[in-house]
């Protein structure tokens, strides 16, 4: 570990001023080495307050950082991280890593922006710099009955719980994977499976989540401004940093993932649904149909009052309330 990383760890642990001498003694390095480490951390974007004759103090800032995330992470979780300022897509990075025999899983890939963020049906997912959370989790899978729909549903609950607990915004979920606040989409989830070519079994699972956390809505492309929203107003009020949010989301995600097939979160999902009891238009592989949503079952499937059950598709329009 570099001296700068060790200095950061000590400052994060202390959450108060530590003098240059204390840091130097603790790490067995010179005060000049500590000073250089502080300079390099500040250049990387960490906010470190420096007071003459008192020392240094870490201030939780905007920079995404593994060390800050780890402070709030459940210590029982053994996760590996990659954090980028920019990347094509965090899901793509996980697909690449899935092929790497040396990889360590679970791997969490996070980026401050994406150049080719994408969602379902290959649609682009706007991922502007400075404020969004673009995060993908790469998992090994040995379950032949892996259920991507239900895992997406569990992920929607993990994000919803984290938003409601930390940011105090009331969430609604539009089947299957959109989380809305004040009627606008603020979270998208894309779950992908990576199959083994020979066995055709899903060997890896990628759960990608995009959250418009502190994103300035004026940075969204014109064509999605009507539908896309941001948690910015709520996150500024709550003062919860992206790092803290990410750690709490990961804690929720992994606690649900352990046993997601038991679907114990489905009552919570139904309680947040904006789709149950409505007349909707549904798009499936380019085919549009209409129906009345009776419920969402414990497999995460849409159940229409006609008796039809849909495991996939997209609700494109919510027409009326009961
Ligand atoms: C959707 O709304 O259709 C799903 C959007 C998923 C976006 C996230 S952002 C992080 C990860 N990387 C991607 O390229 N996509 C997912």
For the chain, which residues make up each domain, given as ranges? 3-59, 66-271, 275-319
Q: Does domain 275-319 have CATH number 2.30.30.100?
A: yes
pLDDT of 20 strictly over 50: yes
What architecture is the 3-59 domain classified under in CATH? Orthogonal Bundle (1.10)
DSSP 29: -
Model pLDDT, residue 239: 82
Average pLDDT for residues 161-181, to the nearest whole number?
Answer: 95
State phi, psi for 255 to the nearest 5 degrees: -70, -35
Closest CA to 264 of 169, 112, 154, 121: 154
Helix (H) or strand (E) holding 189: strand 184-195
Q: Which atom of ligand 1 is nearest to the CA of 92?
A: 14
**261 annotated to bind ligand:** no
Q: Does 223 or 320 have the greater pLDDT score?
A: 223
* pLDDT reported for residue 78: 97
Q: Report the C-alpha gap between 315 and 271 in whole angstroms.
A: 18
Cα atoms in the Cβ-side hemisphere of radius 13 Å centred on 272: 29
CA–CA separation, 121 vs 139, rounded Å? 22
Confidence (pLDDT) at 320: 60
Rounded distance, CA 161 to CA 282, Å? 27
Alpha-carbon gap, residue 213 to 217, rounded angstroms: 10
User: Does pLDDT of 66 surpass 80?
Assistant: yes
Contacts of 86 (CB under 8 A, 6+ apart): 111, 112, 113, 114, 115, 129
pTM: 0.87
Of 83, 88, 125, the one to substitute when testing ligand 1's pocket (max ligand atoms within 8 A of C-beta) is: 125
pLDDT at residue 322 above 70? no
Ligand 1: which residue has its CA nearest to atom 13? 117
Asked if residue 23 has pLDDT above 90, the reply is yes
- Which pLDDT band holds residue 86 (cuts at 50, 70, 90)? very high
Residue 121 CA: which ligand 1 atom is closest? 3
Q: Supply the CATH classification number for the domain 66-271.
A: 3.30.930.10
Q: Using CA atoms, how far apart are residues 17 and 249, in angstroms rounded to an integer?
A: 29
Burial class (CB in 10 A: 0-12, 13-18, 19+), 51: exposed
Reply yes or no on whether the pLDDT at 315 is more than 90: no
Counting atoms of ligand 1 from 1, which one is nearest the CA of 111? 10
Is there a contact between 253 and 137 (Cβ–Cβ < 8 Å)?
Answer: yes
Q: How confident is the model at residue 7 (pLDDT cuts 50, 70, 90)?
A: very high
């Amino acid at each position: 570990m570099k001296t700068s990383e060790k200095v950061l760890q000590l400052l994060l642990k202390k959450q108060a001023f530590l003098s240059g001498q204390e840091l130097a003694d603790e790490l067995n390095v010179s005060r000049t080495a500590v000073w250089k480490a502080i300079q390099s951390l500040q250049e990387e974007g960490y906010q470190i307050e420096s007071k003459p004759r008192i020392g240094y103090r870490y201030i939780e800032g905007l920079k995404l950082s593994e060390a800050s995330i780890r402070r709030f992470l459940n210590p029982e979780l053994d996760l590996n991280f990659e954090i980028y300022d920019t990347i094509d897509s965090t899901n793509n990075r996980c697909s690449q890593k899935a092929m790497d025999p040396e990889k360590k899983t679970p791997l969490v890939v996070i980026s401050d922006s994406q150049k080719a963020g994408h969602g379902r049906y290959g649609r682009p997912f706007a991922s502007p710099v400075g404020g969004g959370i673009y995060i993908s989790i790469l998992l090994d899978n040995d379950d032949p009955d892996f259920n991507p729909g239900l895992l997406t549903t569990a992920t929607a609950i993990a994000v919803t719980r984290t938003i409601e607990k930390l940011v105090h915004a009331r969430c609604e979920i539009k089947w299957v994977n959109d989380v809305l606040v004040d009627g606008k989409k603020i979270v998208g989830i894309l779950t992908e499976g990576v199959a083994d070519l020979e066995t055709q079994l899903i060997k890896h699972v990628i759960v990608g989540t995009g959250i418009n956390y502190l994103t300035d809505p004026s940075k969204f492309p014109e064509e999605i401004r009507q539908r896309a929203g941001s948690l910015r107003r709520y996150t500024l009020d709550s003062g919860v940093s992206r790092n803290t949010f990410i750690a709490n989301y990961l804690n929720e995600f992994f606690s649900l993932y352990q046993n997601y097939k038991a679907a114990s979160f489905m009552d919570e999902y139904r309680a947040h649904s904006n789709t149950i009891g409505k007349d909707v238009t549904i798009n499936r592989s380019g085919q549009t149909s209409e129906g009345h949503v009776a419920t969402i079952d414990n497999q995460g499937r849409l159940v229409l009052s006609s008796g039809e059950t849909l495991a996939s598709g997209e609700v494109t329009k919510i027409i009326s309330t009961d």
